[in-house]
Amino acid sequence: MAELNGLELDPRVAADLPDWSDILAYLRDPARRSAVDVLRAAEAAGRPTVQPRCGVGGHEQMRALLRGLEPAGPGILSLTIDSHTRLRRFDTARELLRTAPADLNGYPLVAHGWQRGRDLGEAVAVPLEVRHGSPDGRDLFAVAVAAGITSYEGGGIGYNLPYSKNVPLGDSLRAWQQVDALCGELARAGVVLDRELFGTLTAVLIPPSISLAMTLLEAVAAVREGVRCLSVAYPQAGEMHQDIAALRAVRSLAARYLGPGVEVYPVLHEFMGVFPRTPDFANLLIVHGGLTARLGGATKVINKTVQEAYGIPDVAANADGIRAAALGASQLLDFVRVDEDRVAEELHWIEREVAELVEPVLAGEDLIAGIEAAFAGGRLDIPFSASVHAHSRVIPRRDASGAIRYADSGSLPFSGAVLRRHATWLRDGKGAGEGAAARTLIEAANADIHYFLEQERLALPGTALPTLTDNPRSRY
């Protein structure tokens, strides 16, 4: 393995990088706005900035995509990476880039190289963030930093267990430890990068306390390595009081466990589950997400589009999604109020659940070993994981309001008070769209997963709702 300031790299990747002094000089260029600058400005304004997801294989196509989305007003633009690069299959990515770039499901930054990365950053006035999903993002991070990209998503839990079948947690956590250590070195050199943590996990009925516990553990690990700016992402579940409470908990938990000297920004991923099929209702859900983000104090919102149910959106739909999310977060809806007592109750219990999950782990001497042991014993877990290193015994359900509760918490170390509260919510409300009493667990979970399709049907009575095959753009 070759090295870049302690970051262990594929020798071929390392050999192509510029000198460290060149990297620092490029990152320090005051003419270029960084992701941290955007987050600070959004925080000061009290309105979340909006960021779309986007990524294609070809360089000119990626450049055109970024420039096509910029007029819609995003604060940050995404460079979503292809699956081969995520899995460090750099040779495969290079070959596809040469022979069939349209077959790549994202931008292969390592194959393109840092010079092209700089070209993308210089093509638009807003900063870029790399979004990927790799359990080992060291090589990609090195190229991203050399390219001048100032925000990098991922972590050893959130970019492993939802995506990979058999990557040991210790391996991914130690790989990300090196990424965070280099971020710490950059911070000491006067360059603060944004490190975004992917609390969305599997994006299927994720209880707020699980999302926040995973990102909090990753955040503690990152801060110990010197990271000074963290964006903590939470997935919109759909019940506004619970989502607002979860976003506000990002700040309170950071204050409790991370201490001073670290910038922490809550981020809302707009609903990532099964999306409505009609443009009208889909657009309503996008606006709803923007409103939720503002009421929860989020600094950034990742938007969705009205074409979400049918595949990868085109540029026009993505631009419209940016504007719809921004409208939801705008002053036009300042008159909207929520039940603050209910939000406060949800916040109290979310904070308590997170504490019960993370404090036994944080009490140990070795954080990485403690996380590994907790997952092995089921004391940490996530639902619907692809990984053999998670038990996936947690069974979430929606209550009658649409909020996500624990129908079965597996071996999570919750107190009796926490378990009784969830049982009461589910027993008294019987779950969202419960209907007949006799329902199998699979049928009930399926109804909860398709929650917004049912809300769409109720909101648009008499409308002939399209199916996926009705849309020629469908990729599924």
Active-site option among 153, 196, 218, 351:
153
- Residue 154's φ and ψ, nearest 5 degrees, are 130, 170
Max CA-CA distance within the chain? 67
Based on the residue annotation, tell me whether 86 is a catalytic residue of this protein.
yes
Write a three-state SS string for 281-325.
Answer: HHHHHHHHHHHHHHHCCCCEEECCCCCHHHCCCCHHHHHHHHHHH
Among the listed residues 8, 45, 33, 39, the one whose alpha carbon sits nearest the alpha carbon of residue 194: 39
Rounded distance between C-alpha atoms, residue 407 and residue 402, angstroms: 14
Active-site option among 86, 195, 248, 421:
86
Burial of 437 (0-12, 13-18, 19+ CB in 10 A): exposed
Rounded distance between C-alpha atoms, residue 72 and residue 39, angstroms: 18
Six token digits for residue 234:
């939470």
Among the listed residues 200, 192, 256, the one whose alpha carbon sits nearest the alpha carbon of residue 230: 192
Rounded distance between C-alpha atoms, residue 225 and residue 249, angstroms: 23
Which residues are annotated as catalytic? 86, 153
